């Protein structure tokens, strides 16, 4: 019989000095029911980035960008951090601002969910909503508005996830190393969505150095312009999935790093996200479903990867928490025609 007073394992690792220390080292969990249901024989594991303190993969880059800027002396507690964001980076920076003692302003497109705005405000951030779908050089874009605010507000800084090299570096030194360790170096396919591109660029950069045999796949929604070759981006569409895709190519994205780009539809993304919730118990966001939609396409194109000895990793970037009034809602799905695959 186990002793009642036995010290729990890893207790020392569970004691943290700050919630910022609860960023990274996320779980890698095998998918069991869904792969079988869709005919996938390979072992599929999900990197659960919503286990980060702020609920998304963007916590990694916010922590690294803030800590680097502090070391460089470009920001100090009491300053104002301003960031243009589709939501998750904004939440992550607001979290770091709350921990470190900064003011925070986030510019957020009207396209993004109400839940993201509510979380930002709960963290003490000020939220400036901007029109959705405007060109990036428009004075009303999230980036232009953030830049104007930075010029107007004394002692303010933009960490700029779109150009900051610490964005992909967070994944080079964090996500990639974790995956290599967790899979014991036996990873055959990596699938990740692309937004700013930091996750896929940084993670792929390291994994491909470790093994040239790894197939690294980037996922881009139909209507976005990130995929390569450019011919993949010909479809003109407004996409509703959040957190992946852009109408411009961020500086930190190296489009040549992935071996393959896959385009995914909103319907497939949301339906597979709901199945991850209902069949695997994973409380993930809509862009997580896009990785499964991409997985299906990869297996169809490369059937030799669909064997029991292959190990495939999908990165699930954020949480269902952000989308309770969107794809998690039956009425919303019906209204937008996403009810069936």
Of 58, 116, 240, 310, which one is the catalytic site residue? 58
C-alpha neighbours within 13 Å on the C-beta side of residue 54:
28
Give the position of tokens 């109408």.
247
The β-bridge partners of 191 are 217, 314
CB 43 within 8 A of CB 312: yes
Q: Which residues of 51-74 are buried (b: 16+ CB within 10 A; e: fewer)?
A: bbbbbbbbbbbbbbbbebbeeeee
Q: How far, in Å, are 54, 135, 202, 272 from residue 198 at the CA level?
A: 18, 21, 6, 24
Q: How far, in Å, are 25, 70, 82 from residue 242 at the CA level?
A: 24, 30, 20
Closest to 267 (Cα-Cα) out of 332, 206, 341, 325: 341
68 vs 60: CA distance, rounded Å: 12
Output DSSP code: residue 6. P
154 vs 312: CA distance, rounded Å: 48
Cβ-proximal residues to 75 (8 Å cutoff; 6+ apart), any chain: 66, 69, 81, 102, 157
Q: How many other C-beta atoms lie within 10 A of the C-beta of residue 271?
A: 21
Catalytic-residue membership of 58: yes
CB 277 within 8 A of CB 228: no
Which residues are catalytically annotated?
58
């Amino acid at each position: 019989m186990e002793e009642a007073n036995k010290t729990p394992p890893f207790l020392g690792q569970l004691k943290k000095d700050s919630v910022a220390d609860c960023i990274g080292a996320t779980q890698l969990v095998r998918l069991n029911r869904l792969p079988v249901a869709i005919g996938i024989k390979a072992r599929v594991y999900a990197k659960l980035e919503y286990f980060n303190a702020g609920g998304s993969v963007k916590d990694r880059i916010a922590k690294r960008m803030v800590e680097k800027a502090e070391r460089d002396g470009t920001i100090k507690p009491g300053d104002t951090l301003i960031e243009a964001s589709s939501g998750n980076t904004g939440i992550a920076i607001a979290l770091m601002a709350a921990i470190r003692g900064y003011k925070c302003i986030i510019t957020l497109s009207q396209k993004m969910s109400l839940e993201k705005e509510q979380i930002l405000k709960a963290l003490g951030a000020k939220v400036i909503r901007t029109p959705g779908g405007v060109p990036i050089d428009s004075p009303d874009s999230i980036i232009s508005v953030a830049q104007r605010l930075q010029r107007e507000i004394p002692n303010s800084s933009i960490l700029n996830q779109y150009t900051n090299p610490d964005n992909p570096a967070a994944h080079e030194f964090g996500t990639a190393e974790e995956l290599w360790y967790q899979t014991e170096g036996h990873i055959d396919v990596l699938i990740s969505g692309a937004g700013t591109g930091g996750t896929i660029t940084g993670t792929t950069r390291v994994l491909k150095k470790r093994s040239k045999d790894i197939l690294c796949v980037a996922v881009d929604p139909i209507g976005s312009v990130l995929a390569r070759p450019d011919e993949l981006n010909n479809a003109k569409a407004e996409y509703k999935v959040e957190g992946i895709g852009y109408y411009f190519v961020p500086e930190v994205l190296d489009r040549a790093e992935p071996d393959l780009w896959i385009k995914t539809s909103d319907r497939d993304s949301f339906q597979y996200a709901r199945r991850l919730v209902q069949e695997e118990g994973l409380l993930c966001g809509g862009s997580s479903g896009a990785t499964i939609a991409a997985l299906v396409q990869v297996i169809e194109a490369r059937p030799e990867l669909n064997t029991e000895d292959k190990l495939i990793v999908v990165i699930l970037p954020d949480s269902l928490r952000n989308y309770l009034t969107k794809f998690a809602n039956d009425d919303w799905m019906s209204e937008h025609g996403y009810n069936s695959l």
